[in-house]
Amino acid sequence: MIAEIIATLLLGVTRFLVGGHARWQGCSPDPGQRIYFANHSSHLDTILLWAALPRPLRRTTHPVAAKDYWGKTAFHRFIAVRVLNAVLLDREGGRDALDPLKETLEQGHSLILFPEGTRQSERMPGPFKGGLFALARAFPTVELVPVYLTNLARAYPKGAILPAPISCIVTFGAPITAGDDERKPQFLARAHKAVCSLAGGERS
């Protein structure tokens, strides 16, 4: 109950400060199993993308959060796991790092993933790491939905204490799939392009 109250307050404050209007350009908010993958430029990214989903979808959609940050204290872990419904990823976990994500997908739930692995200050995302490809290969029936988060780097840049009141937008694109014979570099380049293609309306 406490976690739900905090989640409602957190989402409400975030929406009040930076908006987060959802634009479903290439798909609709269906209950099917998905991996939403997006550019990453702010600590607000997770909250804003999760908030853009209808409430029923948030119950079964889990943001992927870095364990070294969101698991470092009991408070951080509470916010990540209990409030935001997140799955913690050990970025130093080697070959087994994706196991918690695979377990979540095996349960029929969805994920929110930031394939860059860390925040970037540029308008366009940096190179994608291979985790998205590995999950796409392991779960070929799960839809892969590109998402572009507009203005988050301006609204809440690295080092900021409070977010600036700059309107942000969450744009959902058309799902992609990994081709049967497609190699990892080609797939990651195509996934990267799918996110970048949604950035046309961002202010520079």
Domains and CATH numbers, the chain: 2-196 (3.40.1130.10)
pLDDT value at residue 62: 96
Q: First-to-last CA distance in the chain?
A: 41
* 46 vs 113 pLDDT, higher one: 113
pLDDT value at residue 204: 40
Q: Average pLDDT of the chain?
A: 88
Q: Any idea how long the chain is?
A: 204
Grade residue 122 by pLDDT with cuts at 50, 70 and 90. Answer: confident
pLDDT of 104 higher than 50: yes
pLDDT of 203 higher than 60: no
Cα 135–Cα 141–Cα 145 angle in degrees, nearest 5: 70
Is the distance from CB of 126 to CB of 13 less than 8 angstroms? no
10-14, 116-120, 122-126: lowest mean pLDDT where?
Answer: 116-120
pLDDT value at residue 160: 65
pLDDT value at residue 202: 53
Q: Which residues are paired to 110 by β-bridges?
A: 61
